[in-house]
Structure 1
């Protein structure tokens, strides 16, 4: 009996924000996986260890959560004025499926450091000490991200004293600017507010009529009020993820929100589009104890937000959803701005299960609509391991 040997592919395992994933240079991928399609998807599924009916990812690099079942492909940018193209693949845990429909805002923080360390940036641009500005073309959504990466002794600075709730240890701060984060007319889901409304009445079978803000900024997101679905906004993961009925309710809300946003034509299609849209619930400020045991006081935050990713409550907050939060908070009349006190905010600090996060956005009214020029937040990133990842040669 013959056995197919494993092949090895250069890879870097990195944390970016509150996520981590396996990073590849496009040219290092097996030839069949260098182009979109079944071979690429099968290769990345095998790298992560999906689909896994045990939901553990024992035989792969994944961590069996939405935050750790991630893959990234980086290439020299084909877009004028940009340094690298960044393609993100969210790998399903229990299904043979890679979702390419959106970005990962957390891993966006790792793209600049990765690009510098892996030869994508002209060495002449890298100071002995200072900052390198890396312009990233986010391929999934066709948007620009600008990363400000700290440099020490000619190398990417990874250690530092910047603390990010949801990440155990401090690290160096990477500032991110998500340029023109809202969807444009003609994109999937239409404009920033696909229905044209800041708040919609969303009929959800089995739940009822809900007030919802349907926004496409950073990532398509369905916001609802916590109180309308029986929550306070102070919930931690176990309160949601340990309740199958709650998870089913949120998936139904997400599916009907996706259809209302024009992202899918039929509600059944939501099962094949797990990464987008996100669903989140908001509430006015209240005190609670974060998952780390840290006490968050009502006076420390502008509002409470909890969000689900890939069918489960996120342990902190997705970076792209934070962009949606910051954008919606900057526009008076959305559920997010109403939860934050009813006025427009240039920046908000919101409470999530792991603590707090600050995000800002620049918004203005133009021709009767709203325009957001950029959203800004800080994350950190660190290389966890680098070398080769191995997969069976017949895996793709």
Structure 2
């Protein structure tokens, strides 16, 4: 599955550019089904998950081509409404194809999704929202079959501001007759980026970024060209990399507003952060201070996708930090691997108590999920001796483009082996 071998202790210095957002580009790629025409998408990160999704698009009848970090998707003609089972079971975000296919073809058959083992993550909010638009849904033998004669706009109130449910409803509702209103919608920047992409192809959506999204259904769409927003989680990960190594790094081509909760906690830990129009500079010349409480929340709160990386940093801090994970019930698998490196962590339900230690020690650790794997890499950068992070192909490379190369360019001693 591939491994990173890291000799810790090097201070990171330099600058890097942040790639396009994984969590934005995947629903945008799914949305390219809707127009039945050409979609030109720029700033696409080179990731395992992106390759998986474009291969799925190809398997149902789309054509695609890559030119550097631009992908062109041609979704003309009839597509197969049967979504391949294997990639759906491997990558949870592929469930986003359901809303797009239902919106265009009024029928789709897809298996229940899999992905990182960080919690149950049920899709009942997706299904109840699509039912309110008029879809008839049958769940049988591990498959979901959605179909309708026509979709109709409706008022949908989400019990929880689920990103995936918000996106699936948006993708179906753009083709529905009448107006759809999503109340308690997810507010993440990736939702805004999806709205912008859909509107460029002819949809009529307003309100993304707020808790109420309004969608006026339309009957036709056209070609579209769009540039994906930068990845706020990748930016946050490199910011923590600078902090945990006592380094100084300039992170370019980002939207600083999107990482305010991360910047805030890093500031509390003693980092010096300078914010510019599309860049930030972060430096940490001494051992970080503990942050009293880090509680994950839906945007604009502290992102669950940064919990593991911040935990790695707090393992080296002065004092005790408490983490409260409110999004996923099983997102502390990285903790037992950090403990192998000398961290002092106690898990109590959804809370983790982290007492900082003077130094971490290199060890052979295993990535259990995408962000937890990134946290182990960060810990390895700061640890004394050699750290081996296993399973990088399976998890880490799903969400980070050339992580080892970019860290090496900043001064890290890191190599990848098969």
* Length-normalised TM-score, structure 1: 0.27
Which of the two has higher C-alpha Rg?
A: 2
Q: Which has the higher strand share?
A: 1
Q: Which has the higher helix share?
A: 2
* Length-normalised TM-score, structure 2: 0.26
